[in-house]
């Protein structure tokens, strides 16, 4: 959706399904996303909207079976990652694309020391010897602000707090200076103060390193401070995308409007109830036409009848919205 000579990663009509005993669940449905060098791009939506499966698809880590990437392209600097074999993909994971997974409390291996979990990726991709790898691990832990890094490299995950574990995850993800960092809900289960510290750390480090970031979250409030552009996902589809100003000041999709209205602000009286979006994410295996129509407050007749296929249209340069809902706001 953008034409930029600095384009780094392009998803074109990506579709990922999970096979069941009945109809397949379409978790990612014809998703197209562009990431440019050095920018922070947010992907936002409720749980079950396809954000994390999109990230796992980029990394080619969708569990198969039951999951499968059935169509589309994932182009890293023009190279289609869906065409490379697993051996080549292993060289790309960690080195070209780093990832911070959800749940810092469980993402680290409980039986390996912190140092070992950092050095193994350095030894694999950077071909450094074990002594040099430990020195680099200490340096990385210092960079991410972990206190007493010389001690921490010999400790196990259970000896660290949630915030400290997430700093370790960031150190691992950035250890090989990847071109892209995928941060999938990087502040899950952390308190508000630690959340802010982690997000600032990601922003500062990636800015210094020139790394592009895909920041996945359910919280539009977070993206207001950190993202350059935003993709709003619902029901496996991208339903709206644009820069920060367009999304926050001129949202066009009713789902985007609903997400924004549910974010608390300092201006809202504490006695006022926050807005909610009625209903829940629909069954991803059955619906045709507009995936949001059952929750939309002002659906058009064509939306109600399922007569309009979902397709993004550009309403102004760089601002895209699903054609079903452009008039439903």
Kindly state the DSSP code that residue 153 receives in the 8-state scheme.
T
Question: 178-202, pLDDT tens digit by residue?
Answer: 999 999 998 877 788 888 888 999 9
pLDDT of residue 100: 93
28-34: average pLDDT: 96
| pLDDT exceeds cutoff 70 at 267 | no
Residue 111 included in any domain: no
Contact of 152 with 146, CB cutoff 8 Å: yes
Let me know if residue 179 belongs to a domain. Answer: no
65 belongs to a structural domain: yes
The residue segments making up the domain with residue 46 are 1-83+231-264+279-329
pLDDT of 33 reads 97
Give the model confidence (pLDDT) of 300-323 as tens digits: 787 777 777 889 999 999 999 998
* Residue 154 placed within a domain: no
Kindly give, in sequence order, each residue whose CB lies less than 8 Å from that of residue 168, ignoring residues fewer than 6 positions away: 104, 108, 114, 117, 118, 141, 144, 146, 152, 157, 160
Nearest to 222 by CA among 43, 34, 31, 56: 43
Whole-number Å distance between alpha carbons of 45 and 52: 10
**Does some domain include residue 217?**
no
The Cα angle at residue 71 between residues 67 and 74, in degrees rounded to 5: 95
CATH number of the domain enclosing 319: 3.40.50.300
Q: Which residue has the higher pLDDT, 183 or 284?
A: 183
Residue 132 falls inside a structural domain:
no
Domain count, the chain: 1
pLDDT per position as a tens digit, 109-135: 999 999 999 999 999 898 889 999 999
Residue 121 lies in a domain: no
Task: Identify the pLDDT of residue 305.
Answer: 77
Looking at residue 297, the DSSP 8-state letter turns out to be S
**Model confidence at 4: pLDDT above 70:** no
DSSP structural state of residue 93: B
SS3 content of the chain, % helix, strand, coil (to 5): 35, 25, 45
pLDDT digits (tens, 9 = 90+) for 50-75: 999 999 999 999 999 999 999 999 99
pLDDT at residue number 291: 87
Is the model's pLDDT at 108 over the cut of 80?
Answer: yes
Q: What is the mean pLDDT of the chain?
A: 90
More confident position, 271 or 243? 243
The answer to whether 259 and 220 have CB atoms below 8 angstroms apart is yes
pLDDT digits (tens, 9 = 90+) for 71-87: 999 999 999 999 999 99
Is 213 within the bounds of a domain?
A: no
Alpha-carbon span 149 to 168, nearest angstrom? 10
> 290-329: buried (b, 16+ CB within 10 Å) or exposed (e) per residue?
bbbbebbeebbeebeeeebebebeebeeebbbbbbbbebe
- Running DSSP on this structure, what letter comes out for residue 232? E
């Amino acid at each position: 959706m953008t034409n930029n000579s600095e384009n780094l990663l392009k998803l074109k009509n990506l579709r990922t399904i999970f096979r069941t005993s009945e109809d397949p669940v379409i978790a990612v449905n014809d998703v197209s996303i562009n990431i440019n060098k050095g920018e922070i791009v947010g992907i936002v939506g409720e749980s079950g909207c396809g954000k994390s499966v999109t990230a796992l698809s980029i990394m080619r880590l969708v569990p198969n079976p039951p999951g499968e990437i059935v169509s589309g392209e994932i182009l890293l600097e023009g190279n289609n990652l869906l065409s490379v074999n697993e051996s080549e993909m292993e060289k790309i994971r960690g080195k070209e694309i780093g990832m911070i997974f959800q749940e810092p409390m469980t993402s680290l291996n409980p039986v390996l020391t912190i140092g070992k979990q950092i050095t193994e990726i350095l030894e694999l991709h950077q071909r450094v010897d074990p002594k040099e790898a430990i020195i680099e691990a200490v340096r990385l832990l210092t960079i991410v602000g972990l206190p007493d890094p010389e001690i921490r490299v010999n400790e196990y995950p259970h000896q660290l707090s949630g915030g400290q574990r997430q700093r370790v995850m960031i150190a691992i993800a950035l250890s090989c200076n990847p071109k892209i960092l995928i941060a999938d809900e990087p502040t899950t289960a952390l308190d508000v103060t630690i959340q802010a510290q982690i997000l600032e750390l990601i922003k500062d480090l990636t800015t210094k390193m020139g790394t592009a970031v895909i920041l996945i979250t359910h919280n539009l409030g977070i993206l207001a401070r950190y993202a350059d552009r935003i993709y709003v996902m619902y029901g496996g589809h991208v339903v709206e995308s644009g820069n920060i100003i367009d999304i926050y000041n001129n949202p066009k999709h009713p789902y985007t409007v609903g997400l924004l209205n549910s974010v608390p602000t300092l201006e809202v009286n504490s006695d006022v109830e926050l807005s909610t979006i009625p209903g829940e994410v629909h069954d991803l295996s059955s619906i045709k036409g507009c995936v949001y129509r059952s929750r939309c407050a002002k659906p058009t007749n064509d939306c109600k009848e399922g007569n309009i296929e979902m397709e993004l249209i550009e309403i102004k340069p760089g601002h895209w919205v699903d054609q079903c809902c452009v008039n439903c706001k």
